[in-house]
Structure 1
Amino acid sequence: MATKSPYYRAIGKEEEVFRSAYKCKLPLLLKGPTGCGKTRLVEKMANELSTRLVQVVCNEDTSATDLLGRYLLKGGDTIWQEGPVTRAVREGHFLYLDEIAEAREDVVVLLHSLSDHRRQLFLDRSHESIAAPDAFQLIISFNPGYQTRMRRLKPSTRQRFVSLELSYPPVEIETEILAAETGANLSLCKSLAQLALRIRNMSELQLDETVSTRLLVNTALLIKQGLAPRLSADVGIVQALTDDLEVAQPLKDLVSLHL
């Protein structure tokens, strides 16, 4: 059980929505760009509600068997090894499936009975049905920016969830977040937040991902450690965003203007 609450700076009513969904035993879908605080919000709320967090980062190889469990041979015996989803449901934890849109279809299907009025998990292999305790909370997340090149969540799946959209914070709040996360001075944090705003507004660069708050934190930490500000921004932001020299140059020009 966590003892120290993770730092999270709310931008809107996301914490209030989260608490209400939990009290109503409704599953929650978080959508937002990379590094905007989805995972940190879940960690903070799990701590606040004194609940253990079971997190799975999904990918194209994530299958229902990986999450539910499997039979294994051990010392000549066949034993059942529970997966993270089964354990979370049985013990009444927060179950957070990050980047759910990247998982196989059978993973989404297994969530159906957990995300409606039944709140049950069916294990075909062990012929068992597990009713989720009141403390259990199902949370999934995805990045809407990936939806054009990856599998979409079906409307029938999305409509099972309370949906909460998160985004990058405004400059003032992002400055506050950077200062709290890194201990860097406010002037530097504000310059980084303003740089991020400029980059995020440059749609003509056609970046696969724009600069996240996470990248700003990394850059601020490098600068605080003593690395030159522009070099820190180059390795912490520019090189993380692109390998294309023609795209990197305007990013470096922006860095020079702000740092």
Structure 2
Amino acid sequence: MSEVNASNPIQYTIKNEPFYQPVGDEVELYESAYATKMPVMLKGPTGCGKSRFVEYMAWKLGKPLITVACNEDMTASDLVGRFLIDINGTRWQDGPLTVAARIGAICYLDEVVEARQDTTIVIHPLTDHRRVLPLDKKGELVEAHPDFQLVISYNPGYQSMMKDLKQSTKQRFGGFKFDYPKAEIEAEIIAKEAGIELSIAEKLVQIAQRSRNLKGHGLDEGISTRLLVYAGQLIAKGVPAKQACRVALVTPLTDDVDIWDTLMTAVDTFFE
């Protein structure tokens, strides 16, 4: 029986600085949380910058980053690892959480509530004073590298009785609350990310704000910062603003004809 581990930290290192615009003291607070090896929970709406923030902090701290996009089909083995059979026999392959614990990476579980609760239980021993990961199938107890940190994110707007974190999980993390930036900051982000004039970015933000006012009144979520960047990038490539907004902001958000018309009316207000 052979063993395979993806144990090279360099392959998980972010080489170029990701653009991130701080909106408060979150950078300094995260640095302090990392210094104490506190597990961190990021809460906020879709596309507001949670993942970009983690990427930026990993780059700033010079630490490897392993990201896992959680889903309802994800099993504990998908996180910690499993035995595989190939032409040479049976071999063990570490999962992303195990790799991160071994090499001292930041492990980011994105939208963790999408995973089954019996799957998320495996993170518990890593998020208290023990900082260990039992590999029951392998009979090994992995002691987390001193640089290892666990970060999770989720969108409170999608919470339900069936999709929420157990209190026993929540109370293992320090919490950072994210939201869409103030209008002027969000416009600066869009202009920078998309390469468009600030005046155009400001109009896109105003459209987004109108959509966010519809949350709970026909929309589950308003237009995210991420979608605004997409629209700005299309405009930067020469796509007329109305068409760019239709493709990037309105059509992805709703299938309801009345809401679609309402959003397109907002687009018409700012882009004639």
Q: What is the match of residue 8 of structure 2? A: none
Q: 8 Å contact 1:29–1:163 — kept in the other structure?
A: yes
Q: 1:48 to 1:251 in 2, by over 3 A?
A: same
Q: Deviations over 1:72-129 (max 9, x none)?
A: 1122411101111111101110100001101012221101100111111110011111
1:102 maps to which residue? 114
User: Match of 2:213?
Assistant: 201
- Code of the aligned partner of 1:152: D
Residues of 1 paired with 2:40 and 2:111: CA distance? Answer: 13
Q: Is the 8 A contact 1:33 1:143 kept in 2?
A: yes
- TM-score for the superposition, normalised by structure 1: 0.97
Kindly provide the CA deviation profile for residues 170-206 of structure 1, in whole angstroms up to 9, marking residues without a partner as x. 1100011011101100110111111111211223632
The secondary structure found in structure 1 opposite 2:265 is helix
Determine whether 1:236 maps to 2:229: no
- Where does structure 1 lack aligned partners over 5 or more consecutive residues? none
Q: Tell whether the 8 Å contact from 1:219 to 1:233 is kept in structure 2 after alignment.
A: yes
TM-fit CA distance, 1:225: 0.9
Structure 2 residues not aligned, in runs of 5+: 1-12
1:253 aligns with 2:253: no
Q: Is the 8 A contact 2:66 2:105 kept in 1?
A: yes
User: Structure 2 vs 1, CA of residues 174 and 150 (structure 1 numbering), >3 Å: closer, same or farther?
Assistant: farther
Give the root-mean-square deviation of aligned CA atoms. Answer: 1.1
| TM-score, reference length from structure 2 | 0.93
1:2 equivalent in alignment to 2:21: no
Structure 1 residue 187 corresponds to structure 2 residue 199: yes
Q: Percent identity at matched positions?
A: 47
Q: Which residue of 1 aligns with 2:66?
A: 54
Mapped to 1, the partners of 2:207 and 2:88 lie a distance apart of 61
CA distance in 2: counterparts of 1:98 and 1:233, whole angstroms = 27
Aligned length: 259
Secondary structure in structure 2 of the residue aligned to 1:194:
helix
Confirm whether residue 166 of structure 1 aligns to residue 173 of structure 2. no
Match of 1:136? Answer: 148
Aligned-partner residue type, residue 217 of structure 2: L
Q: Does 1:45 align with 2:75?
A: no
Match of 2:24 in 1: 12
